[in-house]
Each structure stands twice: as C-alpha cells, then as structure tokens.
Amino acid sequence: MIDYANEFEGKKVLITGGSRGIGAATAQRLLDGGATVAVSARSRHEQTPTNASFIQGDVSTLAGATAVAEEALETLGGLDILVNNVGATTPILPGIESISDEEWIESLLINFMSAVRVTKPLLPALRRSRSGAIVNISAGGLLPFHGFLAHYGAAKAALDSYTGSSAGELAPAGVRVNLVTPGAIATEGGDDGRKLLATGMGITVEQLFGGIPLRRIGTAQEIAETIAFLVSDRASYITGHDHFVTGGFGDLA
C-alpha cells in the first residue's frame, strides 16, 4: 500500500533551477510529500522554498555543474531523485539566419549540457538508490520551433535523445529516466519569453495561446504534479517516455 501523504519520506532530491517557476513548484510538491530537497540556481528568489537546502551555482559551465552535483551529494548524503529542470531561452526572430554562433552554443550549454554535466557525477548515487529516478524537463517534443526558437528547440531535442539513451543504459540498475514536456506555463521565465515573442510577431500574448485545445496557459503546479508522479513508486514501470503536459497542444487533441 502506498502512503500517498508521505510517499517521498526518506527520498533525497536535487532539482536544478529550483529557485522559481516549475522547479520551485516541484520542490514544494516533493517537500509536501516528505522528501528532503536541495534546489540549485544562481540566486534565491521570492518563490524559493525555505525548507529546501539552497545550492548556489551556474550549471551552464562544466565547473559550475560539477560543483552543484558534488555539493548536493555532500548536503543530502546520497541521491534518489534528480530533476534536471534548468533551461532558458530568448526568442530570436526571424529565425536561423539571425541566430549567432555564440547563441547556438549558449543554448546548448544551458538547455542540454547542464543536464549531462549535473547527472554524470550523480550516477553512482542514483544506481545505489533502490528507487532512482531522473526527470529531464524538455520542450523538444513540440518541434518545430521555426521562426523564433530554433536554437532552443535543437538543444531540447538533444536532451530528448540523451534522455532515451540514459533510460536504456540505466534501466538494468533500476533507475528510471523520463522526460516532461511542458506547454505554455505561467512562470517568470516563460512569461518574459512570450512577451518578447508576441512583440516581435506583432501580436498579443493571448493570441499565442489560440492553438491550445484546453484554451488556457498551464500552471507550474500542474507540471510539478506530473513530475511528482513520475519520480514516485506509482510510476515504477514507466521509463524512457516523453510526457506532454501541454493542454493538448502538439498532442492528440
């Protein structure tokens, strides 16, 4: 029988980019379920859960990502759950011809290599856990991103492929690896990007949501709930899958 109220008791969790937005909501959801949580970011924000350990670091560099992973192991004394949530982008219109070499590399570093570099030093601990689980936060499944976010889409698509390889390689050790692909979610990062995009396209932010079958933007808590399910024992037979939480956008609807 699963004790749903305390289902994460005894679980040690690291969430990158957990100081605000989807990461902070996920940290709060797992804390509410009894987990011990560390969040990493470059700085604390108003939404950063006060009952989580805070690890300061920039995961867009190898040294920064490695230091975050090492401090998490030291702080938590092991690891059961890793959420590679960090990601960022700035829309660049009209598309591939205007994206500089530097911008392509920056997007790969923050949206893809951050997950690769944070995960690697944590794998021995996750293999030792009896219920190791990783969730990588994507958007790549919503490709194409032509006209404004090609650099972001390409980096997230690399993350999708890496997640599949990780799931296959870690399955024999019982470590499950899944992707969550959020749709348009109300967060500071998401809202800033959409404002820039709407301005560049000469439309309103509301017009950007016209194609969402559920006719609204999502909340960080709705993504957190999906992540909580995937890292829980309730999802013990689910690995290597991309879970769309998009209000139906890009999906069957």
* Number of other CB atoms surrounding residue 225 within 10 Å: 15
For the CA atoms of 3, 242, 125, 225, what is the dihedral angle to 10 degrees? Answer: -30
> Is 197 among the residues that bind ligand NAP (CB under 6 A)?
no
Binding test (CB under 6 A) with ligand NAP, winner from 36, 107, 187, 239: 187
User: Strand pairing of 53-56 and 176-182?
Assistant: unpaired
Interaxial angle between packed helices 21-32 and 220-231, expressed in degrees from 0 to 180 and rounded to the nearest 10:
50
Instruction: Tell the smallest beta-carbon distance from residue 138 to ligand NAP (Å).
Output: 7
Instruction: Tell the smallest beta-carbon distance from residue 63 to ligand NAP (Å).
Output: 12
> Is 115 among the residues that bind ligand NAP (CB under 6 A)?
no
Instruction: Tell the smallest beta-carbon distance from residue 127 to ligand NAP (Å).
Output: 25
Judge contact between 89 and 149, C-beta under 8 A: yes
Please state the three-class secondary structure of 44-61 as a single string: CCCCCCCCCEEEECCCCC
Binding test (CB under 6 A) with ligand NAP, winner from 69, 137, 157, 228: 137
Question: Which tokens is 71 given?
Answer: 């401090």
Q: Between residue 48 and residue 67, which ones bind ligand NAP under the rule CB under 6 A?
A: 58-60
Residue recorded with tokens 């993350």: 159
Question: Which tokens is 78 given?
Answer: 């092991």
**162 assigned to active site:** no
Q: How many residues bind ligand NAP (CB under 6 A)?
A: 26
> Is 176 among the residues that bind ligand NAP (CB under 6 A)?
no
d(C-alpha 34, C-alpha 133), whole Å: 16
The one segment of 27-35, 75-83, 85-93, 206-214 that binds ligand NAP by CB under 6 A: 85-93
Q: Between residue 25 and residue 44, which ones bind ligand NAP under the rule CB under 6 A?
A: 41-43
> Is 99 among the residues that bind ligand NAP (CB under 6 A)?
no
Instruction: Tell the smallest beta-carbon distance from residue 7 to ligand NAP (Å).
Output: 23
- Residue partners of 181: CB distance under 8 A and separation at least 6: 138, 139, 140, 141, 142, 242, 243, 244, 245, 246, 250
Query: Which stretches of the chain bind ligand NAP, using CB under 6 A?
Result: 17, 19-23, 41-43, 58-60, 85-88, 110, 137, 139, 182, 184-185, 187-190
Active site residues: 152
